[in-house]
Amino acid sequence: MFSVAFAASVLLTSCFSYTSVVGNGAQGNSKVTQWNHYVIGGLAPVGVSDSKAMAAGAKDYTVFTRQTFVNGLINVITFGLYTPTTTTVTK
User: pLDDT per position in the chain (91 positions), as tens?
Assistant: 767 666 655 555 556 789 999 999 999 999 999 999 999 988 999 999 999 999 999 999 999 999 999 999 999 999 999 999 999 999 9
Answer for the pair 17, 64: CB distance below 8 angstroms, yes or no.
yes
pLDDT for the residue 16: 79
Cβ-Cβ contacts under 8 Å for 43 (sequence gap 6 or more): none
Read off the DSSP letter of residue 59.
Answer: S
